[in-house]
């Protein structure tokens, strides 16, 4: 389609198009690279969040067991007497204030006596008692600044610590254990208890140490995390029950749920969608062994999430989930895309300006040449049209000077032909009463018209033909006669000009374009000819059929003369035949290569040795010389 455009449009397009293409490709590559970086950053952020949560959770969960181990060691060394209730209460009261996040410290013996310290709803530190002295009622006391009990702030009747899950779970094991996660009666927060059995040197149970830990502090920690702009983090157990979350709304929903909140059934659609995605992929949460990175589209938004397994040495088994929405990072991509579009537009405008400027500078001489050509065509050429170009010192200036010379020469020739035609027409008008003279004049008028038609197409045809080896010794008049009897032929790309085994009755000279010569039977290329070259002379001058095929490989114009018209020229100028025979003989190498083939066609006698004489004889016979 671009071939149909004017060059004044094609050139700017060709100059601007590469810039547009490069800018477009760079923009696409940059955008894709940025999106890939978003993916990498999202995964890295999820890794950072889960690792941070894991470290904090591990530190937080290590505190209860550290307290139990310290207390067990104190009892073992005798610095803490579990039978001294007053001393035990004071010890726990001071100790609980040293560890953040711990809500209760306590000790219970096999007789059902319970002593400990607790964080009251008011935030103050209190002490707790149960057993015979309280008639099996768990009593919580406010305390003075020295840790002395004052008023009772809470009562829990029928409390027997020996029946509690943490007490029962600790008895069979000498190691620290975790209780199941449960909902704290007072705060309604999820909690867990670290328990440690205490035995005497004989292996008899002295009692059980316990530390209660609320997950409320983990919730507060998760809410302090920066996960993009709208990212979330949560902790669940292997059944999918929510333990902690950075989203206060989800925490409130979990508090309202009496049996615990399964995230797959959460009212928060995002968390429920992630849970369902995991269940669809794995079947159950228990299948997560280490770390899973995944992504999915939710409400036409892409989200990345990571699920990481958390296990400690005491058997606690949880999952940490980090959720990172892609849109939190796409804002930067969109900003960069807008900047890229602006830069692309600026580059496009600059390229367009440069393209138009360069094309105008390049095309100006072409338009001047075009104007001069139109003047030549209308026979009104003025050398001043190209004066500004002829003064240039570059290739354009040299071309302009040659163009002016050619235009002047062509104009002179056209004027000469016009004068001859006018003279002939005048003689024709004056010879109406003489039929013989009229016929002769019309014959010459026809020849002059043929010459003019050839000149109009290719004004330098005589000079071009004079370069052909077989025509080098022809005079101007002989060349003129040759041109009069020839034809101009045009061929498109892929057109066959002549084919092997066809009669060789034409001789061609290439005016424009190029031609490939090859042996068609074996598809063997011989040579490629361009402007000024000729072919087909052997078949024309020696007779017989073509020995090769010629095909146009671009738009090609040929000067053709057939055997009949060539014979007319030879009859009019007999000395020309001798000269051509001599020129053919100079190409003895080529003739020798084809000698056997020519002999097979009956064009040469194999038993004769004088090749020149054979050529002369063949031409005399062929052209009746």
Q: Are 292 and 306 in contact (CB under 8 A)?
A: yes
Q: Kindly state whether residues 394 and 517 are assigned to the same domain.
A: no
* Residue 452, pLDDT above cutoff 60: no
Q: Kindly state whether residues 168 and 250 are assigned to the same domain.
A: no
Q: Is residue 374 part of a domain?
A: no
What tens digit of pLDDT does each residue of 392-403 get?
Answer: 777 777 777 777
Q: How confident is the model at residue 135 (pLDDT cuts 50, 70, 90)?
A: very high
Q: pLDDT value at position 112?
A: 92
Mean of pLDDT values over 37-46 = 72
* Residue 569, pLDDT above cutoff 70: yes
- Identify the DSSP state of 179: P
Q: Are 414 and 408 in contact (CB under 8 A)?
A: no
* Residue 454, pLDDT above cutoff 50: no
Q: Kindly state whether residues 465 and 612 are assigned to the same domain.
A: yes
Mean of pLDDT values over 173-181 = 89
Residue 93 is part of which domain span? 80-214
Closest by alpha carbon to 483, among 517, 513, 512, 449?
Answer: 449
Q: Is residue 316 part of a domain?
A: yes
Q: pLDDT value at position 428?
A: 56
Q: Kindly state whether residues 389 and 526 are assigned to the same domain.
A: no
Q: How confident is the model at residue 455 (pLDDT cuts 50, 70, 90)?
A: very low
Q: How confident is the model at residue 109 (pLDDT cuts 50, 70, 90)?
A: very high
Q: How confident is the model at residue 72 (pLDDT cuts 50, 70, 90)?
A: very high
Structure tokens at 306: 């990571």
Q: pLDDT value at position 430?
A: 60
* Residue 260, pLDDT above cutoff 70: yes
CA distance 391 to 107: 112
Q: Is residue 364 part of a domain?
A: no
What tens digit of pLDDT does each residue of 479-514 get?
Answer: 887 888 888 889 998 999 999 888 888 889 898 889
Q: Is residue 169 part of a domain?
A: yes
Q: Is residue 465 part of a domain?
A: yes
Q: Kindly state whether residues 542 and 617 are assigned to the same domain.
A: yes
Q: Kindly state whether residues 597 and 526 are assigned to the same domain.
A: yes
Q: How confident is the model at residue 32 (pLDDT cuts 50, 70, 90)?
A: low
CA distance 461 to 509: 10
Q: Is residue 454 part of a domain?
A: no
Q: Is residue 95 part of a domain?
A: yes
* Residue corresponding to tokens 């066959």: 496
What tens digit of pLDDT does each residue of 597-618 get?
Answer: 555 555 555 554 566 676 677 6
Q: Which residue has the higher pLDDT, 458 or 454?
A: 458
CATH of the domain at 240: 3.30.450.20
Q: Kindly state whether residues 135 and 243 are assigned to the same domain.
A: no
Domains contained in the chain, number: 5
Q: Kindly state whether residues 223 and 321 are assigned to the same domain.
A: yes
Q: pLDDT value at position 475?
A: 80
Q: Is residue 452 part of a domain?
A: no
Residue 610's DSSP bridge partners are none
Q: How confident is the model at residue 565 (pLDDT cuts 50, 70, 90)?
A: confident
Q: pLDDT value at position 167?
A: 93
Mean of pLDDT values over 120-132 = 91
Mean of pLDDT values over 183-196 = 83
Residue 535 CB burial class (10 angstroms; 0-12, 13-18, ≥19) = buried
Structure tokens at 177: 């254990």
Q: Kindly state whether residues 594 and 468 are assigned to the same domain.
A: yes
Q: Kindly state whether residues 97 and 178 are assigned to the same domain.
A: yes
What tens digit of pLDDT does each residue of 581-600 get?
Answer: 776 666 555 556 555 555 55
CA distance 145 to 150: 11
Q: Kindly state whether residues 193 and 233 are assigned to the same domain.
A: no
* Residue 125, pLDDT above cutoff 90: yes
Model pTM score: 0.51
CA distance 86 to 64: 22
Least trusted range by pLDDT, from 113-122, 152-161, 460-469: 460-469
Chain-wide mean pLDDT for the chain? 79
Which stretches of 78-127 are DSSP H helices? 85-96
Domain boundary among 447, 481, 499: 447
Q: Kindly state whether residues 497 and 604 are assigned to the same domain.
A: yes
Q: How many CB atoms lie within 10 A of CB 367?
A: 12
What tens digit of pLDDT does each residue of 318-374 get?
Answer: 999 988 887 776 666 667 667 777 777 777 777 777 777 777 777 777 777 777 777
Domain boundary among 164, 191, 214: 214
């Amino acid at each position: 389609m671009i071939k149909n455009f004017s060059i004044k449009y094609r050139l700017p397009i060709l100059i601007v198009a590469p810039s547009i293409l490069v800018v477009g490709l760079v923009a696409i590559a940059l955008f894709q690279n940025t999106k890939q970086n978003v993916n990498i950053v999202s995964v890295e952020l999820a890794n950072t969040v889960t690792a941070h949560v894991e470290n904090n959770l591990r530190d937080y969960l290590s505190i209860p067991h550290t307290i139990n181990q310290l207390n067990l060691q104190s009892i073992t060394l005798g610095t803490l007497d579990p039978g001294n209730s007053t001393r035990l209460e004071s010890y726990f009261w001071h100790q609980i204030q040293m560890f953040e996040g711990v809500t209760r410290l306590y000790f219970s013996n096999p007789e059902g006596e319970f002593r400990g310290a607790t964080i009251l709803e008011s935030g103050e530190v209190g002490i707790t008692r149960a057993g015979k002295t309280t008639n099996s009622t768990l009593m919580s006391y406010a305390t003075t600044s020295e840790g002395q009990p004052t008023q009772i702030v809470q009562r829990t009747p029928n409390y027997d610590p020996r029946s509690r899950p943490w007490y029962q779970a600790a008895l069979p094991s000498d190691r620290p254990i975790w209780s199941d996660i449960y909902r704290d009666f007072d705060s309604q927060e999820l909690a867990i208890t670290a328990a440690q059995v205490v035995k005497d040197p004989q292996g008899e149970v002295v009692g059980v140490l316990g530390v209660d830990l609320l997950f409320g502090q983990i919730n507060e920690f998760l809410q302090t995390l920066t996960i993009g702009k709208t990212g979330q983090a949560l902790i669940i157990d292997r059944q999918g029950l929510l333990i902690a979350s950075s989203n206060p709304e989800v925490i409130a929903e979990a508090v309202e749920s009496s049996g615990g909140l399964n995230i797959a059934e959460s009212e928060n659609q995002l968390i429920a969608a992630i849970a369902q995605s995991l269940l669809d992929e794995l079947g159950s949460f228990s299948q997560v062994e280490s770390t899973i990175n995944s992504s999915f589209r939710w409400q036409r938004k892409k989200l990345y999430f990571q699920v990481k397994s958390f296990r400690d040495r005491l058997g606690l088994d949880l999952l940490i989930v980090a959720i990172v929405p892609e849109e939190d990072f796409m804002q930067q991509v969109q900003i960069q895309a807008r900047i890229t579009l602006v830069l692309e537009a600026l580059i496009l405008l600059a390229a367009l300006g440069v393209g138009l400027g360069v094309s105008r500078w390049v095309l100006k001489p072409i338009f001047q040449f075009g104007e001069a050509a139109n003047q030549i065509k209308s026979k009104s050429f003025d050398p001043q049209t190209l004066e500004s170009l002829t003064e240039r010192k570059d290739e354009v200036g040299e071309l302009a000077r040659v163009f002016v010379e050619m235009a002047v020469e062509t104009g002179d020739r056209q004027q000469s032909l016009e004068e001859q035609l006018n003279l002939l027409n005048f003689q024709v008008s004056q010879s109406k009463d003489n039929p013989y003279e009229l016929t002769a004049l019309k014959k010459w008028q026809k020849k002059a018209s043929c010459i003019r038609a050839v000149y109009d197409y290719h004004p330098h045809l005589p000079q071009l033909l004079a370069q052909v080896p077989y025509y080098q010794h022809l005079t101007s008049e002989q060349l003129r006669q040759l041109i009069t009897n020839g034809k101009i032929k045009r061929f498109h790309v892929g057109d066959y000009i002549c084919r092997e085994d066809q009669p060789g009755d034409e001789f061609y000279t290439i005016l424009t374009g190029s031609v490939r010569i090859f042996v068609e039977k074996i598809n063997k290329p011989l040579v490629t000819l361009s402007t000024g070259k000729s072919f087909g002379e052997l078949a024309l001058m020696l007779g017989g059929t073509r020995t090769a095929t010629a095909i146009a490989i671009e738009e090609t114009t040929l000067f053709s003369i057939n055997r009949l018209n060539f014979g007319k020229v030879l009859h009019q100028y007999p000395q020309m035949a001798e000269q051509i025979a001599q020129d053919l003989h100079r190409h003895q190498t080529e003739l020798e290569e084809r000698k056997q083939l020519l002999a097979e066609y009956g064009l040469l006698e194999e038993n004769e040795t004088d090749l020149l004489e054979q050529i002369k004889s063949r031409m005399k016979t062929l052209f009746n010389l």
